[in-house]
Amino acid sequence: MSTKSKAKPDDATKKRKALEDNLLLNLVQRYFKLAGLVLLIWFVGYFSFSPSWLLLGLIVYIWKEKHTRDRQHQIHIAQQTARGEKDAVLARVDDLPSWVFFPDVERAEWVNKFISQLWPYVGDYVKDLLVKTVEPKVQQSLPASINSFRFVNIDLGDIPPRIGGVKVYSQNVRRDEIYMDLDIIYSSDSEVTVKIKGITAGIKDLQLHGILRVVFKPLISIIPLFGGISVFFLNNPTLDFNLTSLANAFDLPGLNDMLKTIIQEQIAAIMVLPNRIPIAMTKGIDLNKLRYPFPHGVLRIHVIEAKDLISADISLTGKGKSDPYAVIRVGAQKFKTKVLNNTISPVWDASYETIIDVKEGQFVEIDIMDEDPGSKDDALGSVNLDVSSVAEKGTIDSWLPLEDVKKGLVHVRLIWLHLNKDPLELDKIVKRMDDDNDNLSSCILMVNLDSAGELPRGKKQMVEPNPYATLSVGQVRYETYVKPNTDSPRWEQNFRFLVHNPHFQTIEVDVFDKKTGKQIGEVSLPLKNLLSAPDMILDRQFQLKKSGPTSYVNMRLALRVLTTELNPDYIDQEDVAIIDDTKPAETEGTENKPATGINEESPETNVDSPVTETITPSLNKETELRQRKPPSARFELQSSPCGRVQVTFRYSTQRQKLIVVIHKCMNLCAAKGDSAHMADPYIRLYLLPDRSSSSKRKTHVIKDNLNPVFDETFEFAVSPGELSTRSLEITVKNETGMFSSSQKVLGVLLIELDNLDISKAITEWFDLQPEDSEQKAVSLESEV
């Protein structure tokens, strides 16, 4: 009892002393503020300055106090939400989480409980990340006079981030991957202190809100069931914080905005697309393929003009203009047009190109701003465009109303460009660009600089160099990390260049020694060499010039043509190879197991000997089958009056089921009576002679398309003995309305299954016939 009784007064004494110290500090700060104010007033009067300066100072002071109070209020509300979402939601309806507004977003309270329990252990990891990764990058981005930046204190506080909602994608994704979007809300009581040139400053009450995407890929059949994880923000997260220590005295718009920009740039450099954090979950994963997969495409953005903008600069006559410019953001990439003075109808006619790694969930953000030198620029409105909708339509060219303002329109044109590996396509693209006098890109060059070897050492005592490399194509230049004290550095970094014309451009790779600043090797490679390489890819060692006799760099270069036309036969498929691993023998599959083109039944093996094989994603083989080109002779139009359909057949003896994969159709005829000369096709299947509802299968409808891609799998229960007596009826139909007079059947096909080889999968193209044709039936043997 005596011990406890002594402990309580000690605790009370400490708390009272801390309160007194804090009160004294506040009094001292208030004294110096008031003294500084009196001194400023005396200074203005003594030197006969205009009273306008006092008025200006008063305005700045009032603005700062109001801004501080508003931000403290927002932080208080956000922290209340983090501590108790339900109470905060009931009290403040306008800050509802995303799951309230979007029906496809689900709550994830169990995840928040996990994070709350793990939060104390996250601090060490974040501290290590900031000190070892962020600190060096901030030092490089600052001027040389203040590059002594370092973290002094990193405290994440007691309030963990919350997941406001979870969305898992089940459509438009491959079967060997899972996409999950997390609505991250971080309203913390954290405090981070930094020191620059002996001056200590810091930030506290950090707030961050953004959509974090988590990709589980590839899915495999061994624990943990996925080979790797990629984590990244789709777009720049919103960011806010308060300044502490000396920085609080200079909490003005300029300094605050500069610090926000620096921190956002560092976050973007780490984990905003195209940057991501990859985590290998199993042995043999190529981490570079997780970090830098092939992009989905390239988006060409043409900001043409705007009109009827608001007048941000009011003149003495009551009428005014603006000095507008546009800022375009896509993920971590940012572009800015030139400023046009004294106009509300600017014509920029500016074009930009940006590489899109993931089109789903990405947005093009266009902000129209009014330039005000010496103060914060005014917002004249903004527009957000979904990248996936542009990719689906191919081109969007329209006037769009500006949001968050009373009036204003902006004229934009967006064009989606596919990546094509056919070198013959390049000639058509370059010719078209020359005819139109375009100075845009015709190709994208992707470079993986893996390593270098046998680099020359210093002449004195054979000192190992600190090598780094620069890569340049035209005016674009990138630089690798510095690898200390090695003559065989491993960079394993990826770089991408947009190329105007590979016939005349060259990639230059220069290796330097950071210790001496001297060049220790170079490689110059004309890009036209890639045009004759298989799949336009070179992956090998390149001899370094002006270096040692055996010095080299090891790199992989891939060139892709940018085209508006989608040709599936020349489109790369994402693939993450898993090597040097084992896979247990397959057991009986599920009902929805995809067709792989491989016989399911495994040969009998000795149970005493292990069975090993290379694991590959389950969809790869099916994708290869779907993209196989049919013989060119079968593409003659006269032999397929209604178009063609590609189908895979596979029979499971164990499950006694016929598996049919409808891949795609080609060259369908437009539906008669359709005003747009298109069709809304879908496919209906019957396993004859049964025409009951249990035998009927149907794909989904694809709107306005004569070359639809379905990739849908169907199963029919049938014994091996009955298979020879059955036939598959395939009817390509056009979805019509109740009162529509357009054509309903686009083509039919009857496939006899009596010659189906059940020992393997068969993928083939079949000619469709008119509905009234007498030659609808074909033998599978004759087609194969």
Provide the pLDDT for residue 777: 67
Residue 385 DSSP symbol: E
Is the CA virtual torsion 153, 159, 164, 165 positive or negative?
Answer: positive
The answer on pLDDT for 627 being more than 60 is no
User: Which of the given ranges, 117-121, 128-132, 507-511, has the highest pLDDT on average?
Assistant: 507-511
Provide the pLDDT for residue 738: 61
Provide the pLDDT for residue 158: 85
| Rounded CA separation 706/670 (Å) | 7
The contacts of residue 484 (CB under 8 Å, 6+ apart) are 466, 514
Query: Residue 572 burial (CB < 10 Å; 0-12/13-18/19+)?
Result: middle
Higher-pLDDT residue of 339, 203: 339
Mean pLDDT value of segment 74-96: 61
Provide the pLDDT for residue 632: 33
Mean pLDDT value of segment 310-317: 69
> What residue type is 335 in one-letter code?
F
How far from 151 is each of 123, 240, 444, CA to CA, in Å? Answer: 14, 19, 39
**Three-class SS of residue 120?**
helix
Provide the pLDDT for residue 619: 33
Find tokens 């542009």 and name the residue. 390
Q: CATH code for 628-783?
A: 2.60.40.150
What is the share, in percent, of the chain residues with pLDDT greater than 90? 18
**Nearest CA-CA partner of 219 in 288, 285, 278:** 285
The contacts of residue 619 (CB under 8 Å, 6+ apart) are 174, 175, 176, 594
Provide DSSP, 697-748.
Answer: EE----SS-SS-EEEEEEEEE--HHHHTT-EEEEEEEE---TT--S-SEEEE
**Three-class SS of residue 105?**
coil
Find tokens 């410019």 and name the residue. 325
Provide the pLDDT for residue 4: 41
Pairing of strands 777-779, 745-752: parallel
Provide the pLDDT for residue 255: 59
- Cβ atoms of residues 761 and 598 within 8 Å: yes
In tens, the pLDDT along 259-286 reads: 667 776 767 777 777 777 888 887 776 6
**Three-class SS of residue 208?**
strand
Mean pLDDT value of segment 215-241: 82
Q: Is the peptide bond before 295 cis (omega within 30 degrees of 0)?
A: no
Confidence of residue 103 (pLDDT cuts 50, 70, 90): low
Residue 72 burial (CB count, 10 A) = 12
Provide the pLDDT for residue 723: 85
198 Rama class: left (phi>0) / alpha (psi -120 to 50) / beta: left
The contacts of residue 542 (CB under 8 Å, 6+ apart) are 509, 523, 525, 552, 553, 554, 555
The answer on pLDDT for 541 being more than 80 is yes
In tens, the pLDDT along 168-203 reads: 877 667 777 888 888 888 888 888 888 877 777 777
Residue 593 DSSP symbol: P
**Residue 472, both tokens:** 């340049």
What is the share, in percent, of the chain residues with pLDDT greater than 70? 72
User: Which of the given ranges, 68-72, 93-97, 194-198, 549-553, has the highest pLDDT on average?
Assistant: 549-553
Domain 297-419 in CATH 3.40.47.10:
no
Min mean pLDDT across 244-253, 564-573, 726-735 is at 244-253
Provide the angle, in degrees to the nearest 10, between the axes of the packed helices 2-46 and 51-83: 150
Provide the pLDDT for residue 282: 78
| Rounded CA separation 288/20 (Å) | 56
**Residue 214, both tokens:** 């988590």
In tens, the pLDDT along 406-460 reads: 889 999 999 999 998 888 888 888 888 777 667 789 999 999 898 999 999 877 6
Homologous superfamily assigned to 423-570 = C2 domain (2.60.40.150)
The answer on pLDDT for 701 being more than 70 is yes
For residues 381-416, one letter each, b for 16 or more C-beta atoms within 10 angstroms of the residue's C-beta and e for the rest, the string is bbbebebbebbeeeebeeebebeeeeebbbbbebbb
Find tokens 């969007």 and name the residue. 396
**Three-class SS of residue 509?**
strand
In tens, the pLDDT along 342-375 reads: 898 999 999 999 999 888 778 899 999 998 887 7
| Rounded CA separation 69/595 (Å) | 62
Min mean pLDDT across 33-42, 69-78, 87-96, 463-472 is at 87-96
| Rounded CA separation 237/258 (Å) | 16
The contacts of residue 214 (CB under 8 Å, 6+ apart) are 179, 180, 181, 182, 229, 230, 231
> What residue type is 78 in one-letter code?
A
Provide the pLDDT for residue 252: 53
Helix residue spans in 47-179 (DSSP H): 51-83, 85-91, 98-101, 109-129, 135-141
Mean pLDDT value of segment 246-259: 58
Q: Which residues pair with 522 in a beta bridge?
A: 510, 545
**Three-class SS of residue 371?**
coil
For residues 430-456, one letter each, b for 16 or more C-beta atoms within 10 angstroms of the residue's C-beta and e for the rest, the string is beebeeeeeebbbbbbbbbbbebbebb
Mean of pLDDT over the chain: 76
- Cβ atoms of residues 202 and 153 within 8 Å: yes
The answer on pLDDT for 229 being more than 70 is yes
| Rounded CA separation 586/615 (Å) | 12
Mean pLDDT value of segment 285-314: 82
The answer on pLDDT for 718 being more than 90 is no
Phi and psi (nearest 5°) for 147?
Answer: -85, 20
Helix residue spans in 171-318 (DSSP H): 253-271, 287-291
Phi and psi (nearest 5°) for 177?
Answer: -155, 155
408 Rama class: left (phi>0) / alpha (psi -120 to 50) / beta: left
The contacts of residue 13 (CB under 8 Å, 6+ apart) are none
Provide the pLDDT for residue 611: 31
Provide the pLDDT for residue 565: 84
Longest dimension (CA), the chain: 110
| Rounded CA separation 297/419 (Å) | 6
Higher-pLDDT residue of 681, 761: 681
Residue 130 DSSP symbol: I
**Nearest CA-CA partner of 156 in 97, 203, 195, 213:** 203
R_g of the chain computed on alpha carbons: 32
In tens, the pLDDT along 580-613 reads: 333 333 333 333 333 333 333 333 333 333 332 2
Higher-pLDDT residue of 376, 607: 376
| Rounded CA separation 753/722 (Å) | 10
Provide the pLDDT for residue 618: 31
Provide the pLDDT for residue 312: 79
Q: Which residues pair with 207 in a beta bridge?
A: 187, 240
